[in-house]
Structure 1
Amino acid sequence: MRIGIGNDHVAVEYKKVISEYITEKYGYEVVNYGTDSTERFNYPESGKKVAEAVASGKVDRGILICGTGVGIGIAANKVKGIRCVICSEPYSAKLSRQHNDTNVLSFGARVIGIELAKMIVDNWLVTEFEAGRHKVRVDMIGKIEQEI
C-alpha cells in the first residue's frame, strides 16, 4: 500500500515519526507531500496535494497533520472523491473506515500525543470498509458531490 502524507510547519516532527512508524510496522511506502521545514507553511497546499494523489490513485490513502488537523482536513475534503476524517481518538478512526470508507485521515500535532496518533493510525489503516448498508450511504455522499 502507498500512503501519501502531508503536513504544515507545526507537524514536521509528527510526520517523520508517523512515516517511519508506518514503514517499519506495515512495510507500506510513504510518499511525502508536506513540508520538511519549520518555517511558516500554508496547510491547504499539502492537504490538496495529498487529496489529489488519493483521488487520482497515485497513492491508496492519505494522512494529514497540522496543528489541529481541522484546516488541512477541510482542504482535503474539497477535492472530489475524498472522504477525510478529522480524528483525535481511535474509535472514530475505526468507524470512519467501517462505515464511511474514509480515504484520508487528519489529526492535530497540537491536539494529541504521538502515541495516541500511532493508535489512531493503526485503527484507521487496518480497518476495512464494511460495505452493505454503509455503501448506500457512501454512494449518497458521492451523489451529493456530483450535484455540486
Structure 2
Amino acid sequence: MKVIIGADKDGAKAKDELVLELKEEGYEILDLSKEGQDFVDVAVAVAKQTLKETNNGEDKSETAPRGIVIDKWGTDAFMAANKLKHVICANVSDEHSARMTRRHNGALMITLGTAVVGSELLKSCAKAYLEAPFDGGRHMVRIDMVNKMA
C-alpha cells in the first residue's frame, strides 16, 4: 500500500521516524513534506495527491493509497484537509479512533499531533489506520451524505 505523508516543522521528526518504520514493514511512501511548509499547505498537498490516486476517494480498497499528516496539534491540518470535496479526514489520538475512522468512515487520511501523542502512540495510531479495512455497506450512506454537502 502507498502512504502519502507530509509534515510541517513541528511534525518532521515524528514523520521521519514513522516513515522509517513503515518502509521496514513494506509500505511504499510518498513524502510531500517541504522545508518551511505550513501545516495548511502540507494538509492540502497530501489530500489532493490522495484524492488523485484514489479516484476522488472512490477507491476504498485495502490496497488504496492513504494519507497521513503530522503537525503539532493535528486539528488545524484536519480542518484544512476537510475543506476539499471528497476528503474525509480524521484527527486521531488513539488506536481505536484511527481504526474505526477507516472502518466506518472510509477516511482518506488522518492527522496526528506531536503535542498530543507521543512517538510510540503516533506510530501505533498510524498503523491501526493503515491496517484497517473499510467496512462499506451501511456506512456508505453517511459518506455519500457528507460528500453531497461539499
Q: Mean Cα displacement is larger for which, 122-131 or 54-63?
A: 54-63
| Aligned counterparts of 1:56 and 1:41: Cα–Cα separation in 2 | 21
Q: Which stretches of structure 1, 4 residues or longer, exceed 6 Å deviation after superposition?
A: none
Match of 1:72 in 2: 77
Distance apart, 1:87 and its partner CA: 0.5
Distance apart, 1:105 and its partner CA: 0.9
Question: Is the CA contact 1:5–1:31 (under 8 Å) kept in the aligned structure 2?
Answer: yes
For structure 2, list consecutive stretches of 5 or more residues without a partner in the other structure: 55-63
Distance apart, 1:74 and its partner CA: 1.1
Question: Is the CA contact 1:33–1:50 (under 8 Å) kept in the aligned structure 2?
Answer: yes
Task: Tell me the amino acid that sits aligned with residue 52 of structure 2.
Answer: S
Distance apart, 1:34 and its partner CA: 1.2
**Alpha-carbon displacement from aligned partner over 1:45-76 (angstroms, at most 9, x marks no partner):** 11110000011117811000000011111111
Match of 2:67 in 1: 62
| Aligned counterparts of 2:87 and 2:3: Cα–Cα separation in 1 | 14
| Aligned counterparts of 1:16 and 1:55: Cα–Cα separation in 2 | 23
Match of 1:113 in 2: 118
Question: Is the CA contact 1:89–1:116 (under 8 Å) kept in the aligned structure 2?
Answer: yes
Match of 1:4 in 2: 4
Equivalent residue in structure 1 for 2:48, among 42, 45, 52:
52
Q: How does 1:16-95 map to 2 (within 5 A)?
A: 16-25=16-25, 27-35=26-34, 37=35, 41-57=37-53, 60-95=65-100
**Alpha-carbon displacement from aligned partner over 1:74-111 (angstroms, at most 9, x marks no partner):** 11111211111100111111110111000101010111
Question: Is the CA contact 1:99–1:129 (under 8 Å) kept in the aligned structure 2?
Answer: yes
TM-score (norm 2): 0.89
Question: Is the CA contact 1:55–1:80 (under 8 Å) kept in the aligned structure 2?
Answer: no
What is the Cα-based RMSD across aligned positions, in Å? 1.4
Query: Secondary structure of the residue that 1:9 maps to in structure 2?
Result: coil
Distance apart, 1:41 and its partner CA: 3.6
| Aligned counterparts of 1:7 and 1:72: Cα–Cα separation in 2 | 10
Aligned length: 141
TM-score (norm 1): 0.90
Question: Is the CA contact 1:6–1:46 (under 8 Å) kept in the aligned structure 2?
Answer: yes
Question: Is the CA contact 1:68–1:111 (under 8 Å) kept in the aligned structure 2?
Answer: yes
More helix by share: 1
Equivalent residue in structure 2 for 1:133, among 116, 138, 142:
138
